[in-house]
Structure 1
Amino acid sequence: MTPTVPNTVEFLRRLYPGDDPDRAAWGVRIDGTDLRALVAEATRAGWSHEWDTSEEPPDGREAYLMSQHAPLVMADDAHARRHFLGDPDPERREPGTGAMALLGCICGTDECWPMMATVTVTALTVTWSGFHQPYRPEWGVLAMGPYTFPRTAYEQALAAPVRLPGRGRLYVSDDYSDEANSETAADAEGSGETP
């Protein structure tokens, strides 16, 4: 049996709009791909069945698939670390299964339309598995994951997220590359803004 290659994870953080200086949107990339893109592909079949019997989304299927979830909004960095290490707030944990939200709703209320998964933390690894949409039980467990991360690398990524400049939501179309972030930070520095 071939040993499983561990997955890589990156956490993305952008300050959220409003007066709270520490509140931020936290996104995730797995093996370089935005978690929302992975979910879009995994939910495609479920949505297709629904679209066969109802109206098409106004902006088209692809746009809808890519915009069904948003990164979670956390009160501060310590809150995010607790959450992603398997200790979420009760409203972000599914009663009975213990699964927790890894993505929230685009409306800003995470529990409105969450993407749930089981987060298993051991001394050596953190595993995300059993992805499902609680409001679509007929879809069952989605065909994605499990994703297993070395715990040390996971905790390092969580402690040093990619900090995106400005305040706002995290969009799938955002350029998260180090080069783009360096340019944006330099632009902000030159204009007197804080990234």
Structure 2
Amino acid sequence: MRAAEDARVNTIEFLRHPAPEHPRASVWAVRVDGVDLRRRVADATRALWHPELADQFDDQEREEEELLLTQHAGLPAAEFAPAHFLTPADTAPVLGCPCGIWDCWPLLAHIGTTPESITWTAFRQPHRPQWGTLPLGPFTFARTPYEKALATAPTVAQDPLEDEDPASRP
């Protein structure tokens, strides 16, 4: 069964939207199989964050969920050309920090390429080495649709996480 899961081809969407702290600048948003990558990271890191966040908030459940969903932002489009997402790398940032300084709190991944596919694996948070490789992915994308999604990424008026359909969540 695991080999069949590994062979699954994922879909990807790239979008650009105003940066959270710098609305005149745009950042990349990424959806994998229709789900914002930040939501997937929130789900993958929830248990890892829990001990650190326990009893930190007045409304623990709501505020913890908000922190999990907003721990990352898209990479600044001015600093990361589309070629960034097509270049093989052992540790490439795929998400950055909402403060606008992408390497303040990046999500790193291994980007592997072949003539037929692009694969994102080995996701990690370098500022939490004790977390190791996150339980996220691997994601394998057919190269032609991936390149098309990147080349035709629309610019949207607001953060697409706000528009995400709750039924599409994993």
Of all paired residues, the percent bearing the same amino acid is 42
Asked if the contact 1:71/1:170 (under 8 Å) is kept, the reply is no
TM-score by length of 2: 0.82
Which secondary structure state, in structure 1, belongs to the residue aligned with residue 162 of structure 2? coil
Alpha carbons of structure 1 residues 15 and 68: separation in structure 2 relative to 1, 3 Å: closer
For 1:99, the equivalent position in structure 2 comes to 91
2:69 is aligned to 66
Long gaps (5+) in structure 1? 88-92, 177-195
Once the two structures are TM-superposed, the CA of residue 175 in structure 1 deviates from its matched residue by: 5.2
- 2:168 corresponding residue in structure 1: none
- Whether 1:14 aligns to 2:12 is no
Structure 2 matches for 1:36-185, cutoff 5 A?
A: 36-52=38-54, 55-56=56-57, 60-75=63-78, 79-86=80-87, 98-165=90-157, 170=159, 172-174=161-163
The answer as to 2:16 corresponding to 1:24 is no
Q: Show structure 2 runs of 5+ residues with no match.
A: 166-170
Amino acid at match of 1:35: L
Give the C-alpha shift of residue 171 in structure 1.
5.1
1:105-125 CA distances to partner (integer Å, 9 max, x unpaired)? 010010000011000111110
CA deviation digits over 1:152-185, x for unaligned, max 9?
11001000113213xxx62521359xxxxxxxxx
- Work out the CA distance in 1 between the residues paired with 2:107 and 2:58: 20
CA RMSD across the alignment: 2.4
- In 2 relative to 1, CA 128–57 (structure 1 residues): closer, same or farther, beyond 3 Å? farther
Normalising by structure 1, what TM-score? 0.72
1:18-65 CA-to-partner distances (Å, cap 9, x unmatched) read 3xxxx521100000000000000001111012124x734876211111
| Whole-angstrom CA distance in 2 between matches of 1:170 and 1:2 | 34
**Number of paired residues?**
157
CA distance in 2 between partners of 1:15 and 1:170 (Å): 7
Is the 1:129–1:145 Cα contact (8 Å) retained in structure 2? yes
* Alpha-carbon offset, residue 69 of structure 1: 0.5
Letter in 2 for 1:104: G
- What's the offset of the Cα at 1:81? 1.2
Q: Spell out structure 1 runs of 4+ moving beyond 4 A.
A: none
For the residue of structure 2 that corresponds to 1:163, the secondary structure is: coil
